[in-house]
Structures are given as structure tokens and as C-alpha cells.
Structure 1
Amino acid sequence: MNKVSIVTINYNQDKITEELLVSIAETNTYANIETIVVDNGSTHNPVPEWTTKFPDVKFIRSESNLGFSGGNNLGIADATGDYYFLVNNDTEFTPGLVQKLVDILDTHPHVGIISPKLMYHFNKNIIQYVGFTQVDYYTCRNRAVGKNETDKGQYDNLLGQTGYCHGGAMMVKRETCAKAGLMADNFFIYYEEVDWGERINKSGYQAWVRGDAVIYHKESMTVGKKSAFKEYFMNRNRILFIRHNAPAFKALVFYFYFMLMVVPRNIVNYIKEGKTEFISILFRAIWWNVTHSKHSTELGFTPNKVK
């Protein structure tokens, strides 16, 4: 029986993380697992208390916020499983979830990574994800399959290849990571799992989704309030993704598209929303890509401002 390492990240959300740990304990029936929680530089260090409260869980404390990519990579470095199940801390497991994903990885050697169907927790009849389309390099856009649809069982029999797995819940083979590498730390947050998916696809493995494996996600259907932090990394990393992955001609087309279409549109929206301070943030994100190597680990923004 292959061992599964469940890895999640906590950042100033102790109660939410504890709810996930309880969910795993109450619903999981797969015998060979370990659970790893990376505390990503939270203001208050919850690890000493958690060590007593959850003796069967492995806790890792990072004194600095390493972001989604760095936090998961830190957890993977300490994991002993054959498969790594990376899950957001604001998720809720369902019975049979781990087993259903393991069954596919056990029997399909060409599948390197797999996600379950993600459902919104606030309304467990609404779908968040049952697959992604491939990113269009010309625009750096793609689409989440099934998003905001009412679940009527239309994807229960879905099992097969998808563009990418979802960062909220994805099980990946150790051998996939050995061949494709881990997530690029310099994305920090946003686009990192899609960039990873590109490398996994190009390494010869397929990304799959299983529609009858379900996890609930407490994320809201709306993205939430804009922040300077989010605007910076969404724009910075959109460009960085293209630099990492697109062929030269398609990248050139994207740069023209971004500067002539996206930038003016964003500026107009910032003005309409009374967020004119975001204009400088947008150009700061662009300038980072002009002045830094695509492999640079200099983030250009204070990590501890992440929400």
C-alpha cells in the first residue's frame, strides 16, 4: 500500500486549520497516511499547542512566510510518502476521498497528478472546479470547467485528463516531483500551480481529475476585496508564467496584448473603483519582469502582507 503524505499550510488561520485536521481524522479511511502542517510564519506560533492537541500530526514551523509554493515545498521536503496530497487548509475532506485518488495513481502510470472535484463549502451544491482548460499563451487565460454550476451529478462519471490540477487539492506522485521538480518558489502565490502543471505536462505525465472524489472548499465564490498585494502578484506572475513557459513568438504577442489591452483596461477600472494607487502597483509588477531574471527569487513585495 503506497503511503500518502497530506500537506497543508497555515498562516494566521489556526481555527480553520484545526477544522481541517478534525475533518481528516473523522472521514479518512485510507490506512497509510501521514499529515504535515507547515506554519508559514504566522504572527502567533501555534505549533507547541498543536503538538499536544494533535500528537499524530507532523508540524513544521517556518519563521518567515514562504508563500503557497515555498510552504508546500517545505512540507514535501519532510514528507515520506509515495504520493503527496497538497490541500488548502480551508478544505473539508469527504469519506473515500484519499482512496479514490490513490486508486488512479496506483493503476495509471502515466498519470502524475490528480485533483478531486472541488465544491464550495458555503453551498455544497455549487461546483468550483472539475478541471482546467490549457492556458492560451497569447492572452495567458484559461477556464475552470464546471465553475459555479449546480451539481446535479453531471460530472460524477468524469475521470480523465485535464489541463491542470487545482492548487486547493492535488495529489502528486513522488516520482513526478523527481522528474518535473517542485513548484517554483519565486511565484510565491498565484499562477504557481499552473506553472507547475506546465512542467508536469511537459515531463511526460498527465494531469487528471476525478469527478466522484469530492472535497469542500471554504473559499467564497467571489474573489474578495482587491488589495495591493494581490494586484501586484496577479500581474507580476501572469507575465512571469509566460516568461517561464511560452515560445518566443507567442510570448511576444502576449506582451503586446498585455501592454495595449490589459494595462489600459486595468487603469480605467482602477479609476472607476477609486483605487488609483493600484496604477503604480501595476507598473511595479511590470517593471519587476523587465529588471529581473525569470528565475529571480527577489519578490518585490513584502511577504508578510499576504492575506
Structure 2
Amino acid sequence: MNRVAVVILNWNGCSFLEQFLPSVVENTPTDIADVIVADNGSTDNSLAYLKDRFPSIKTICFDKNYGFTGGYNRAIETLTHEYTILLNSDVETPKGWLEPLYEQMEKNPHVGACMPKMLAYADKHSFEYAGASGGFLDRYGYPFCRGRILSTTEIDSEQYNDPIPVFWASGACLMVRTSLYKKLGGLDSDFFAHMEEIDFCWRLQHAGYKVMVYPQSHVFHVGGGTLPNNNPHKMYLNFRNSLLMLVKNLPAKTLLTTLFVRMVLDGAAGVAFLIQGKWGFFVAVLKAHRDFYRMLSKFLAKRKEVGKSKPSGFYKKSIVFSHLVKGKKTYSLLDPSKFTA
């Protein structure tokens, strides 16, 4: 058996499988990795396509859609490979994409998870929103990337080609030690989708492991394949899950003040949506806060690993203030001393 499992989670994504699975199969070395498709109860032609075009690929079938978190947890629970790569179905993998990740994980046992540099499929010279060249988190739970801050993405001119520790690695292409994934309980299924990889990487760092980006490897990501970026439900999940993640992982001494400021910022965003006539987004913010309170007690009970180690890549300032008020539009303009090492 190979040491790496490349697991593609699919839900009614036959068009993505047709477009991108051939590149994964062609450019994934067969002496290192097995390509596996985990199907989340698809009702389109996905399974028929796999059976017809890629009959040798292992397919794990579920009876319904368990979301990003539940689907991967159920699939990875069955694996015995040393490493697992969670790979979105809308990712193009060029030749040589896997080898650098595998080699670095073999050399660095203190690294629990890693990611490649992520470029946009639609503009292959630009960083992709969901991961760019490594993810970070500000003090109020807003994620950003080396190559993307808020909605500003940079052109890739190899300015971020050095491998560094980061706060989080994108779930669009996330390599992890399989045994560690299982030990930590995998992705939190209460998230369903969005922010779950950030929560996982935070827990991984609580456990004493590093998260790295290795830009020697790169992939191209479409992004928004299941829910586009302008979808109110996606905003609902992001707002709700951000608050839940803070409750689950922040030290007690900063939790209440951080939550208060974050909820004020959320409220300001909601008012802005209302003024702009974006009723669906305004309602999404309200629902996110409502459901946060409904789930609060459950997440308070999950605070088992808090404070066991200091996470890398935590930005001690507000990225919203730095970006919108101080005009720091790119990662390179941020003060390195404001990040935890």
C-alpha cells in the first residue's frame, strides 16, 4: 500500500470530476499515492462517470451529504495510509505537485499538516482567495493569507516562495498525518463547512505540531465550487463558525473581550448590508448570531486543549483596521513583529 491517500470529496460535482480528476490521476505518482474519491450521496452522474472513466479508482460512497467535515471524517476513518491529502474536486494539480509536500513531511516529524501554494485557476498568475501562500488569523478571528487580505488578492511574482510556519492550511489542499487527524478527532462536524480547517489547524498547534506552507508545490483552485463567495449561506456559515471557533480555542483571559469586539464588528457589517439593500446577507448575520448562542454551551464543553501551546501565525492586531484604515493592502506591508512565531 502507498503511504499517501489523496482523497477527493465529491457532492454532485460530476462536472468538476470531468474537468480536474484527469490531472490528479495523471500527475499523482502511483508509487507514492492512491487517489480516492469519497462521494457524499451524489444524485448526479458522478458515480457513473467514475465507474466508466476511472474504474480502478477506489470510491467510498455515503448515503447522504455529510458536509465537508462529516464526509472527510468518515472517509479518513477507513484509511491506514501514513498521510492523507484532502483535495477539493475543483483543484488542478500540475506535474510535480505532490512530491515536495511528501518529502517535507517525511523530513519534518514536528509538522502535522501542510499545504502547497494555491493559485487561481481562472488567473494562474494570481493567488487564490482560499489559501494563497499560507493562512493566518487576526485577534478577532478574521482569516487572511500571505497573498490575500480581505478581498484583495495579489499577483504571484514569487514574493512568497519561502516555506514558513502558518496558522492554517487551506482545506482545498491539506496534507496531514493520518494518525494525528484521527487522534484529534478530525474536522469538527458541528461546523458542517467553512472555517473547519482553521479550527483543525488551531487544535493541531495546541497539540504541539506545526502547520507549514511549502510553495515548492503549487496547485490551481477554482474556489466557491459548492457555495460561491457571494452566497448568503456561505456568509452565515463563516460568521457562525468564526464565533464558535473563538469560543473553542481562545484562552479564557481574552475570550470575552475578543468575542464582544467581534460581535460588534459583525453587527456593523450587518448594518452595512442593510443599508446596501442586501437583505439576504443581513439576515445571514442575524441567523449566524442566533445559532451561535444556540450552540454556545456545546462549544464551551470542547475547550479541552486550550493553552497547551502557543500557535504560530497569529496576528495580534486587527487585520480589518490594518487593511482599511492603515492602508496595508498586502501581507508584505504588515509588521512581522505583530505575528506570533
Specify the TM-score bucket, using the shorter chain as the normaliser.
Answer: 0.7 to 0.9
Residue 140 in 1 paired to residue 144 in 2?
Answer: no
Alpha-carbon contact 2:266-2:285 (below 8 Å) kept: no
Deviation, structure 1 residue 32: 2.8
Q: For 1:97, what is the secondary structure of its paired residue?
A: coil
Alpha-carbon contact 1:155-1:212 (below 8 Å) kept: no
CA distance in 2, matches of 1:83, 1:21: 20
Match of 1:274 among 254, 257, 277: 277
**CA, structure 1 residues 261+178, in 2 after alignment: closer, same or farther (shift >3 Å)?**
closer
Q: For 2:169, what is the secondary structure of its paired residue?
A: coil
**CA, structure 1 residues 290+155, in 2 after alignment: closer, same or farther (shift >3 Å)?**
closer
For residues 131-168 of structure 1, what are the alpha-carbon distances to aligned partners after superposition, in whole Å with 9 as ceiling and x for unaligned?
122x234x112320023222223333x12311111111
**CA, structure 1 residues 272+141, in 2 after alignment: closer, same or farther (shift >3 Å)?**
same
Alpha-carbon contact 1:30-1:99 (below 8 Å) kept: no
Could you say what the CA RMSD is over the residues aligned between the two structures, in angstroms? Answer: 2.2
Residue 62 in 1 paired to residue 62 in 2?
Answer: yes
**CA, structure 1 residues 235+48, in 2 after alignment: closer, same or farther (shift >3 Å)?**
same
Alpha-carbon contact 2:116-2:133 (below 8 Å) kept: yes
Alpha-carbon contact 2:91-2:219 (below 8 Å) kept: yes
Alpha-carbon contact 1:243-1:294 (below 8 Å) kept: no
Alpha-carbon contact 2:141-2:262 (below 8 Å) kept: no
- Counterpart in the other structure of 1:149: 154
For residues 49-104 of structure 1, what are the alpha-carbon distances to aligned partners after superposition, in whole Å with 9 as ceiling and x for unaligned?
41232122111222322111111112212323110011111001111111111101
Alpha-carbon contact 1:51-1:59 (below 8 Å) kept: no
CA distance in 2, matches of 1:284, 1:262: 12
Match of 1:206 among 203, 206, 210: 210
Q: What is the TM-score of this pair, normalised by structure 1?
A: 0.87
- Counterpart in the other structure of 1:168: 172
Q: For 2:218, what is the secondary structure of its paired residue?
A: strand
Q: Structure 2 counterpart of 1:136, which letter?
A: D
- Counterpart in the other structure of 1:39: 39
Q: For 1:130, what is the secondary structure of its paired residue?
A: coil
Alpha-carbon contact 2:14-2:45 (below 8 Å) kept: no
CA distance in 2, matches of 1:69, 1:2: 24
For residues 238-291 of structure 1, what are the alpha-carbon distances to aligned partners after superposition, in whole Å with 9 as ceiling and x for unaligned?
11111111122322112221333321x223222233222443432222122222
- Counterpart in the other structure of 2:111: 111
Deviation, structure 1 residue 21: 1.8
**CA, structure 1 residues 252+18, in 2 after alignment: closer, same or farther (shift >3 Å)?**
same
Alpha-carbon contact 1:23-1:92 (below 8 Å) kept: yes
Match of 1:285 among 288, 308, 311: 288
Residue 15 in 1 paired to residue 15 in 2?
Answer: yes
Q: For 1:143, what is the secondary structure of its paired residue?
A: strand
CA distance in 1, matches of 2:2, 2:105: 10
Q: For 1:155, what is the secondary structure of its paired residue?
A: coil
Question: Which has the higher mean CA deviation after the structures are superposed, 38-47 or 124-133?
Answer: 38-47
Q: For 1:294, what is the secondary structure of its paired residue?
A: helix
Q: For 2:89, what is the secondary structure of its paired residue?
A: coil
Q: For 1:63, what is the secondary structure of its paired residue?
A: coil
Q: Structure 1 counterpart of 2:70, which letter?
A: G
How many pairs were matched up?
290
Question: Which has the higher mean CA deviation after the structures are superposed, 97-106 or 9-18?
Answer: 9-18
Gap runs ≥5 in structure 1: 297-307
Alpha-carbon contact 1:176-1:205 (below 8 Å) kept: no
Q: For 2:105, what is the secondary structure of its paired residue?
A: helix
Alpha-carbon contact 1:12-1:42 (below 8 Å) kept: yes
Query: Percent same amino acid at aligned positions?
Result: 29
Gap runs ≥5 in structure 2: 301-341
- Counterpart in the other structure of 1:247: 251
CA distance in 2, matches of 1:81, 1:275: 46
**CA, structure 1 residues 224+183, in 2 after alignment: closer, same or farther (shift >3 Å)?**
closer
- Counterpart in the other structure of 1:261: 265
Deviation, structure 1 residue 30: 4.9
CA distance in 2, matches of 1:270, 1:68: 28
**CA, structure 1 residues 247+228, in 2 after alignment: closer, same or farther (shift >3 Å)?**
same
Q: What is the TM-score of this pair, normalised by structure 2?
A: 0.79
For residues 179-205 of structure 1, what are the alpha-carbon distances to aligned partners after superposition, in whole Å with 9 as ceiling and x for unaligned?
333110010111100000001111111
**CA, structure 1 residues 125+225, in 2 after alignment: closer, same or farther (shift >3 Å)?**
closer
Q: For 2:217, what is the secondary structure of its paired residue?
A: strand
Q: For 1:189, what is the secondary structure of its paired residue?
A: coil
